[in-house]
Each structure stands twice: as C-alpha cells, then as structure tokens.
Amino acid sequence: MTLPNKLTMIRIAVIPLMIVLCYIPWLKENTLFLGVSWLYFLLVILFILASVTDFLDGAIARKYQLITTFGKLADPLADKMLVFTAMTVLMMDGFIPMWVYIVILIREFMVSGIRMVVIEKGTVIAAAKLGKWKTFVTMVAIIVLFFSGLHEIIEIIGTVLIYLACALTILSGIEYFYNNRKDILESI
C-alpha cells in the first residue's frame, strides 16, 4: 500500500474515535476554555489532523506519481466520511441548519452513486478543482464552527462559511454532472 493510501486509511480510522468521543457526556458538559467544550476541542484537533492527511496524501501522490485507482476512490470517500461525522455533530447541536446538511448530503450521494456507476465501465472520475475548493471551505467552516463558543462573531463567520460551502457544493455538483455527462449518459 502506498503512503498516500495509508494516510487516507488513517483519516478513515479517526472517524470511529470521533464518534466514540461524542458518547462521553463529561466531554460535552465541561469546558476547556472560554466556552469551548472538551468534546469540541478534541474533535477539532482530530479533524485538523485528519484534514492535514487529506492535503498530504494528494500532494505526495502527485509529486511521486503514486496516484492509484484505490486512492481516487478512497480519498473522496474518506473526505465525505470525515466531513459528515463532524457536520452531524454540529447539525445536532444547532450550528449547521438541517437544510444545508441535507443539500450537501444529497449532492455527495448523487456524485458517489454516479462514480460507482461509471467505474463499472472502467472509468474513474477524479475530483475537480471546484470540488476540492468545496471540500476545503467545508473543512474550514467546520473548524470555525467548533470554536463558536469563543465568541458570537466566530459563529457568524462559521455560518457564512458553511453557506459558502453549500453554494460550492451545488456549483461543483453541477460542474461534475456537466463535465462527466457523456460517461453518465452512457452508463444509464
């Protein structure tokens, strides 16, 4: 297994730990500093570390020509799993509107579904730049929202960022369908 694929697997392995932490009441009930709970602090540390592996796996794969079919499929899947774990926590706590969560979720399921359909034809669709920006903005929004307890302005910035992420999600979904319409139509 290549180093980029190992980094992707580490990112996936962080997700169950994040979920387990959510079930420890003490972590949510006690604050570390200025209104940030231990839970959010630990989740943001894990989220940032996992997000760094997302940057590193792609950079290493491109620089050393270690791009694999597994990586093209597992990397975006790991991103989605990580992001939706964090977004679920934030949505349940009222920091992300449910409609934003649903829009992003639907787009991700549609894109993943189409990826699976076209892969049967031997076509692997890599993420486009707009999709990478969507992922980046979403990850930054999540990090900012985890620190919402610090000050109201931080929550406002996080909310603006998650709305921007939602807009980029829609636009990148449209771009994805448009750029891959031939493969999509041939697979239907």
What's the burial of 146, exposed, middle or buried (CB within 10 Å: 0-12/13-18/19+)?
A: buried
pLDDT of residue 116: 76
Write out pLDDT tens, residues 151-165: 999 999 999 999 999
pLDDT of residue 79: 87
Instruction: Give the confidence band of 53 by pLDDT, cuts at 50, 70, 90.
Output: very high
Helix (H, G, I), strand (E, B) or coil at 31: strand
The alpha helices in the chain, defined as continuous H runs, are 3-22, 25-29, 38-63, 69-92, 98-119, 129-146, 152-179, 181-187
Question: Average pLDDT, whole number, for the chain?
Answer: 91
Write out pLDDT tens, residues 104-117: 999 998 888 877 77
In CATH, what number is assigned to the domain containing residue 145?
A: 1.20.120
Is residue 56 over pLDDT 90?
yes
Average pLDDT over residues 90-110: 95
Average pLDDT over residues 159-187: 90
Cα 188 to chain centroid, rounded: 28
Residue 90 CB: number of other CB atoms within 10 A? 20
Q: Are 138 and 75 in contact (CB under 8 A)?
A: no
Instruction: Give the confidence band of 49 by pLDDT, cuts at 50, 70, 90.
Output: very high
Local structure of residue 126 (DSSP, 8 states): P
Of 53-57, 76-80, 142-146, 148-152, where does the model show the most confidence? 142-146
Is residue 184 over pLDDT 80?
no
Weakest mean pLDDT among 86-90, 120-124, 136-140, 179-183: 120-124
Q: Are 128 and 179 in contact (CB under 8 A)?
A: yes
181 Cβ neighbours under 8 A, 6+ residues apart: none
Q: Tell whether the torsion through CA atoms of 5, 51, 92 and 26 is positive or negative.
A: positive
Domain count, the chain: 1
User: What is the C-alpha separation between 173 and 115, in angstroms, rounded?
Assistant: 12
Task: Provide the domain limits for residue 16.
Answer: 3-187
User: What is the C-alpha separation between 157 and 168, in angstroms, rounded?
Assistant: 16
pLDDT of residue 128: 79
Write out pLDDT tens, residues 125-150: 666 789 889 989 999 999 999 999 88
Cα 1 to chain centroid, rounded: 23
Average pLDDT over residues 3-13: 95
Q: Are 78 and 108 in contact (CB under 8 A)?
A: no
